[in-house]
């Protein structure tokens, strides 16, 4: 009988402990936090997908634009060769030769700009070009327009 009484008191104490623990830690708050965490994870994954899709579409559009530019350039080259080719004209004056290649100069590195008009000129051809001479003032007290203090008194 005493064993049964001890067992009954033990079970009542365990039940009271479980009820007390349930009241101390509200289960709904944990569920709210878990729901919020899952919601934020879903939003973050959706954002990552949106960013990835955006850049994939941007890359595709840029590639399409580049291809269309090449197509227009080839159309202009073919039209110039068909419509403007004049065998009587000198090679340099022939409008059919006005369009250069999109490939760039042979042997140029891939990172070099495709269109560099001054890169094809020799040094003696650039002799007629001079930089602006604003920095060369006549009197050392005068300030040129490129001077930092120009116009300030």
User: HEC profile for the chain?
Assistant: CHHHHHHHHHHHHHHHHHHHHHHHCCHHHHHHHHHHHHHHHHHHHHHHHHHHHHHHHHHHHHHHHHHHHHHHHHHHHHHHHHHHCCCCCCHHHCHHHCCCCCCCCCCCCCCCCCCCHHHHCCHHHHHHCCCCCCCCCCCCCCCCCCCCCCCCC
User: pLDDT tens, position by position, for the chain (153 residues)?
Assistant: 788 888 888 999 999 988 887 777 666 788 889 999 999 999 999 999 999 999 999 999 999 999 999 999 989 888 887 887 666 665 566 666 666 666 655 555 555 444 555 556 666 666 666 666 655 556 767 766 666 766 666
How confident is the model at residue 130, as a pLDDT?
A: 66
């Amino acid at each position: 009988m005493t064993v049964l009484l001890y067992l009954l008191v033990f079970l009542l104490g365990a039940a009271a402990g479980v009820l007390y623990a349930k009241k101390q830690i509200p289960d709904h708050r944990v569920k709210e936090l878990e729901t919020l965490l899952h919601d934020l994870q879903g939003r973050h994954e959706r954002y990552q997908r949106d960013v990835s899709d955006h850049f994939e579409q941007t890359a595709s559009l840029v590639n399409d634009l580049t291809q269309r530019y090449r197509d227009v350039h080839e159309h202009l080259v073919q039209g110039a060769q068909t419509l403007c080719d004049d065998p009587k004209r000198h090679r340099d004056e022939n409008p059919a030769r006005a369009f250069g290649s999109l490939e760039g100069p042979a042997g140029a590195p891939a990172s070099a700009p495709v269109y560099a008009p001054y890169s094809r000129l020799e040094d003696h051809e650039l002799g007629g070009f001079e930089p602006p001479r604003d920095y060369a003032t006549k009197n050392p007290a005068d300030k040129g327009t490129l001077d930092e203090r120009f116009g300030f008194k």
